[in-house]
Amino acid sequence: MGQDGKGRKLSEKQKKALLVTGITAAVYISFKYLLPLVIPFLTAYWVALLVRPGSRWLHKKLRLKEGIWASLLVTAFSALLLTAVYFLGRLFLEQLFMAIRRLPVYTRYLCGWLDDLCCRCDDSLGFAKGTSLEFIYTQCENIMSRMGDMAGVFVMDNSMAVLKWVIKGGAFLAIVSIGSVLMVSSMGRIRRYRNISVFRQEITTVTGCLSRVGKAFFRTQILIMGLTCLVCGTGLYLLGNNYAVLLGVLIGLLDALPVFGTGTVLIPWAVFSVLLGNWAYAIGLTAIYAICYFLREVMEAKMMGGHMGIPPLEMLMSMYIGLMLFGVAGFILGPFGFMVIKELTEMYGGKGIRA
Query: Can you list the alpha helix ranges (DSSP code H) found in 128-238?
Result: 131-185, 187-196, 200-238
9 lies in some domain: no
Give the largest CA-CA distance in the chain: 95
335 lies in some domain: yes
26 lies in some domain: no
Confidence band, pLDDT 50/70/90 cuts, at residue 42: confident
- Tell me, yes or no, whether 254 and 347 share the same domain: yes
- Domain count across the chain: 2
Using the 3D structure, point to which of 196, 214, 231 is the last residue of a domain: 196
pLDDT at 122 over 60: yes
- What pLDDT shows up at residue 355? 38
Confidence band, pLDDT 50/70/90 cuts, at residue 144: confident
- Tell me, yes or no, whether 109 and 58 share the same domain: yes
The per-residue pLDDT for range 50-76, each reduced to its tens digit, is 787 777 787 777 777 777 777 888 888
- Tell me, yes or no, whether 87 and 162 share the same domain: yes
- Tell me, yes or no, whether 161 and 47 share the same domain: yes
pLDDT at 258 over 70: no
DSSP 215-238: HHHHHHHHHHHHHHHHHHHHHHHH
For 268-307, b where at least 16 C-beta lie within 10 A, e where not — what string?
A: ebbeebeeeeeeebbebbbebbebbbebbeeebbebbbeb
- Tell me, yes or no, whether 102 and 51 share the same domain: yes
218 lies in some domain: yes
23 lies in some domain: no
Q: Averaged over 129-143, what is the pLDDT?
A: 78
28 lies in some domain: no
Angle at 322 between CA 211 and CA 203, to 5 degrees: 35
Rg (CA), the chain: 28
- Tell me, yes or no, whether 212 and 184 share the same domain: no
- What pLDDT shows up at residue 288? 92
Using the 3D structure, point to which of 135, 167, 196 is the last residue of a domain: 196
- What pLDDT shows up at residue 287? 92
Domain limits at 57? 39-196
Gap between the Cα atoms of 240 and 346, Å rounded: 56
> pLDDT: is 181 or 25 the higher one?
25
The pTM score is 0.58
Query: For residue 332, which of 43, 7, 2 has the smallest C-alpha distance?
Result: 43
Cβ atoms 335, 315 nearer than 8 A = yes
Q: Dihedrals φ, ψ of 160, to 5°? A: -70, -35
DSSP-based three-state secondary structure for 147: helix
pLDDT at 43 over 70: yes
> pLDDT: is 99 or 2 the higher one?
99
- Tell me, yes or no, whether 98 and 45 share the same domain: yes
**Percent of the chain, pLDDT > 90?**
3
pLDDT at 354 over 80: no
- Tell me, yes or no, whether 43 and 187 share the same domain: yes
Backbone conformation region of residue 309, classed left if phi is above 0, alpha if psi is from -120 to 50, else beta: left
- Tell me, yes or no, whether 184 and 210 share the same domain: no
Using the 3D structure, point to which of 149, 176, 196 is the last residue of a domain: 196
273 lies in some domain: yes
SS3 track for 252-306: HHHHHCCCCCCHHHHHHHHHHHHHCCCHHHHHHHHHHHHHHHHHHHHHHHHHHHH
- Tell me, yes or no, whether 161 and 81 share the same domain: yes
